[in-house]
Structure formats: structure tokens, C-alpha cells
Amino acid sequence: MKKKMKTKNFLAACCLSFLLFLNQTIGYAKAQVLVPVGQTVGVTLDMEGVTVVDTADVESYDGKKYTPAKDAGIRPGDVIETINGTQMQSAQQLEELVNEQGETDLQVKFRRGEEEKECKVKAALSSLDGHYRIGVWIKDAASGIGTVTYFDPETKEFGALGHGITQQKEQEALPIQGGSILKAAIVSVQKGSKGQPGELIGVFAEDKEKLGSVQSNTMVGLKGVLDGTVKLNASMEPIPVAERTEVTEGAAQILSNIAEDKIEEFDIEIQKINKDEDSTKGMVIHVTDQELLEKTGGIVQGMSGSPIIQNGKLVGAVTHVFVNDPTRGYGIFMDLMLQ
């Protein structure tokens, strides 16, 4: 009898130890908490290389028009990385290097999507300004308005937009060297209508009131770190991130900044949950808030990144609008945005 009791006590001790270990493990893997933001900011991105917006004619002194870049196979959307081994970082640098090389063949390395390419280009002497040119319109930076979705109160890391900034005609995230988010104010709203997406019109100064640094541009949004003591949406406390299985069809809310710098809560409905686990269109949402409908017509450009909240948890972010029905759009799940 005593022997059996000892066995039972031993088993009880083992079970208790296991439960304590399990509780410690579960406690360590507690739900992540983030501060939902919904603030519209100015976004500036420094690109890797210079992007070809379009090819152009170069009118020379002989009266003829030349298209050096186009003839060499360069086309809009290509990213020029090096010329004669020199890394391209700005439009001005490219123009100066091409002019310095004159009639010498230029060895150009460029990227088209994921494919690396190389070609030789012979610049033409322009009769307009006496400079050698290869006939391209290029850009070395991108800027616009977007919405910050969340920030981590411990690490100060933030996420914005809920979708990537892509290259022209390419469904790939634009490669960047870095960037900034800056304080902005919404000055007007172009209301959306069927077949015509609306837009938030905002202003920001690129050399003032920096809020944070952009570190990456991915297909699920911009990611970076807030500067110093910056805290966006200061009145909002951190809330748990919802597991995807917790998200249901039905009532929810979004946080958006559609006037000056004021963040407001608006009612929406999650109408459908899509099965594609890796899509930025993971759920279909419908704006039901009459105030938002009256002011914007529904979802407009610039609202991408507006956090979606359901049952007190951060569910995801607004990403796209239906062109033929601005009251409806898509949202990305937060677990995908955090990857």
C-alpha cells in the first residue's frame, strides 16, 4: 500500500512540474501588443539606382533625332544600377557622368524586375544644351502620402500602407536604400465615386518634422523605426494583435486621418474572409459609417494602412479600394503584415 502511494505522489509531482513548465512556456509566448495608429504621413523613399520613367528623343546638331537608350534595349521601369562600373545614386550624377564620357561607349548595367541586364549605349550630343545625353527621363526618389498602421511601443518599429510601393508596370516592390516618414496635414479630400477612386490631398515638407526612418519596402508595406521620443496617436493604448482565426465577418472599425492631423474611428463591416493566406487582399471590407461616406465616398487613396480593429484587437489594415464601388475594398491580415 505504501509503495503505491509513493508512486502516486511521484506521478503527481511529475504532472505538477509539467504544468508549471507549460504555464511558463505559455506565459512567455503571450500575445503581441501594438499601438494602432491611422495617422497620415508624408513618405519619401531613396531608391537603389535610378528608375527609367520613359525614353526620349535627343535632337542633335545634324538635325536628326536619336534614341540611344531605347535603341540599346532600355525601357520604362528599368532601374539603371551602374554606368562604366560607377554606382548610380541620383539623376544628376547620371547626367554628369554621361556628359563627361562624351562619345565613348557606355557600359550600362540595369535591372528589369528580378533580371539583371547589360548593354552598351552611345550618347548623342544635344543641340538644346550642348550636353551628351542618352535619352531617358529618370527619377531617383519617390514621395507621397500614406497611413501608418501600427508601432511597437517597446522597439519603436512601425509598419505602414499594408502593400508595397511597386515599380511602374511591375508587381514587385521598388528596391530602396532608405527613406523617411514626415509630419503631414490633410488639406482636402477628392471624394471617390464609381469608376473614379478618390484621394487624400496632403502637404508635408521634406526637410522638416521627420517622424521616423523607413528601412524596407516590401509587398506587405513599409517598415521602419520611429525617431527618438516620437509617439504616433498618443491617445491610443497598445492592444493585442488578433490571431487570424479570431477574425470574423461582421462589425469592425478603422482608424483614419482624413482632415488636418486628426485621427478618427469609423465603422466598417468585414464582409468576407478570403482563403489565400499570403494575399494583401485577405478580407473584403465595406464602409458603413455615414460620416466617412459623406466626406470621402468610402475608401480613397492615402487611406492604405488604416488599421482595422475588431473586438478590441488589431486585425489588419486597409489596402485597396474597389474601383467600381469605393464603399468597399480589401484589407491585409496583421499576421501577414508583421512577417
What total number of domains does the chain contain?
Answer: 2
User: Rounded to whole angstroms, how far apart are CA atoms 56 and 125?
Assistant: 14
With a cut of 80, say whether residue 71 has pLDDT above it. Answer: yes
Active site residue 304: yes
Active site residue 289: yes
Whether 199 and 301 map to the same domain: the answer is: yes
Contacts of 178 (CB under 8 A, 6+ apart): 45, 46, 213, 214, 215
When mean pLDDT is compared across 17-21, 52-56, 59-63, 257-261, the lowest value belongs to 17-21
Phi, then psi, of 50 in degrees rounded to 5: -125, 140
In a domain, 113, yes or no: yes
Whether 162 and 299 map to the same domain: the answer is: yes
Q: What is the pLDDT of residues 292-336, one digit of tens each?
A: 999 999 999 999 999 999 999 999 999 999 999 999 999 999 999
Q: In the structure grid, which three cell numbers stand for residue 75, read together?
A: 525601357
Q: Residue 221: give its domain's CATH number.
A: 2.40.10.120
Whether 148 and 116 map to the same domain: the answer is: no
Task: Show which of 76, 109, 134 is a domain's final residue.
Answer: 134
Active site residue 163: yes
Task: Show which of 134, 164, 190 is a domain's final residue.
Answer: 134
In a domain, 129, yes or no: yes
- 1: DSSP letter: -
Residue in 140, 289, 306, 320 annotated catalytic? 289
Q: pTM of the prediction?
A: 0.77
Task: Show which of 134, 157, 176 is a domain's final residue.
Answer: 134
Place of cell 543641340: 127
Residue in 140, 163, 180, 320 annotated catalytic? 163
With a cut of 70, say whether residue 252 has pLDDT above it. Answer: yes
DSSP characters for 155-221? Answer: T-EEEESSS--B-TT--SBPPEEEEEEEE-EEEEEE--BTTB--EEEEE--TTS-EEEEEEEEETTE
Average pLDDT on 260-287 reads 91
Domain that holds residue 265: 33-45+143-337
Residue in 140, 304, 306, 320 annotated catalytic? 304
User: Rounded to whole angstroms, how far apart are CA atoms 163 and 190?
Assistant: 22
With a cut of 80, say whether residue 69 has pLDDT above it. Answer: yes
Q: What is the pLDDT of residues 155-183, one digit of tens each?
A: 999 999 999 988 655 567 777 888 999 99
In a domain, 24, yes or no: no
Whether 106 and 224 map to the same domain: the answer is: no
The letter for the amino acid at 8 is K
Q: Higher model confidence: residue 152 or residue 31?
A: 152
**Average pLDDT of every residue of the chain:** 87
With a cut of 50, say whether residue 8 has pLDDT above it. Answer: no
Q: What is the pLDDT of residues 195-246, one digit of tens each?
A: 888 999 999 877 678 999 999 999 999 999 999 888 899 889 999 999 999 9
Whether 126 and 76 map to the same domain: the answer is: yes
Whether 39 and 90 map to the same domain: the answer is: no
CA torsion, ordered 93, 95, 101, 104, to nearest 10 deg:
130
